[in-house]
Structure formats: C-alpha cells, structure tokens
C-alpha cells in the first residue's frame, strides 16, 4: 500500500519504550506517527486491515485538528474530557468503518475499556463508552 505523505515512523525516545513504541499511534497535525510494526505492515501490498484501521483512526484526528485548528484542538483534547471522548469516538468510527469493510470483528468491550481508562485519563465510565461504541457500530 502506498502510504500518505504525512505518515511517519515514530522515532526518538518514544520509539525505545517497548509498550509505548509497539502499541501507540499518534496524530499530531499534520503528521501521523506509527509504531514500526504498523508502519512496516502498511507498506506491504496487502496490509493487515487492523493496521489500515489504525491509520484511518489517526488520519481522522488529523482532519479534525485541521478543522478546529491544531492548537485549539490540542488544548481542548488535553483539558476537556468530554471533548477528548467525542474526538476518540469520531476517530474510532473511521476505524470501525474499515473493520466493517473487511468484515472483521471489532472488540467493543476492549475498546470501551481503553476509552474509559487511564490512557485517555478516564473521560467517561466504561458503561458510557461501551454504549456509545455500540451505537456508533450500529450507525456504520
């Protein structure tokens, strides 16, 4: 697959923290930074749909940052839990669309735990995250 020009391999210190470097992708306007495993897989002729979905998720964040303004988006994302949750839900919808396209299972329970957990600074309860993810899955 030909990667968009704004997709980068995560380097620097973040690339040397095993849990972080292997699992976390980030969209920081105007670029998407991917872990090596995801980045390399996406360059293959037939990448794993899961990795295509990760890219779709992060590209949606870039799109939203451009619309809102990167600085304003970053401040709101950092300090407003409801904004952060809604932005993750919007990006997850893009991710889910890839899963549906490839007829893959999307683990709503696992995603709900992440979205309601420490990684996103506990923006909502698990019950709320799961309910909103189920609703979003049904809209696709």
Indicate the domain borders of the chain: 7-139
The pLDDT value given to residue 13: 61
What pLDDT digit, counting tens, does each position of 24-33 carry?
A: 899 999 999 9
Q: What is the Cα–Cα distance from 1 to 19, expressed in whole angstroms? A: 26
Residue 11's pLDDT is 84
How much is the average pLDDT of 124-139? 98
Average of pLDDT values for 75-86?
Answer: 98
Q: What is the pLDDT of residue 19?
A: 47
Query: What's the pLDDT band for 43 if we cut at 50, 70, 90?
Result: very high
Interval 57-76 mean pLDDT: 98
Query: The tokens 């893009």 sit on which residue?
Result: 94
* pLDDT average, residue stretch 61-69: 98
Q: What is the residue-averaged pLDDT of the chain?
A: 93
Describe the strand order of the beta sheet including 26-28 as a list of residue ranges.
7-9, 31-34, 26-28
Q: What is the pLDDT of residues 91-110, one digit of tens each?
A: 999 999 999 999 999 999 99
Q: How confident is the model at residue 48 (pLDDT cuts 50, 70, 90)?
A: very high
Rounded Cα gap, residues 99 and 86, in angstroms = 20
Q: Give just the sign of the alpha carbon dihedral 57, 60, 62, 64.
A: negative
pLDDT of residue 21: 47
């Amino acid at each position: 697959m030909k990667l968009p020009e704004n997709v980068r391999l995560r380097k620097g210190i973040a690339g040397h923290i095993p849990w972080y470097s292997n699992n976390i992708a980030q969209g920081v306007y105007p670029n998407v930074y991917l872990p090596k495993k995801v980045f390399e897989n996406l360059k293959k002729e037939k990448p794993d749909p899961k990795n295509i979905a990760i890219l779709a998720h992060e590209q949606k964040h870039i799109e939203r940052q451009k619309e809102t303004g990167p600085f304003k988006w970053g401040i709101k994302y950092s300090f407003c839990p409801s904004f952060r949750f809604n932005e993750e839900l919007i990006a997850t919808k893009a991710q889910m669309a890839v899963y549906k396209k490839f007829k893959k299972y999307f683990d709503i329970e696992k995603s709900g735990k992440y979205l309601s957990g420490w990684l996103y600074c506990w923006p909502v309860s698990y019950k709320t995250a799961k309910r909103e993810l189920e609703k979003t899955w049904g809209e696709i």
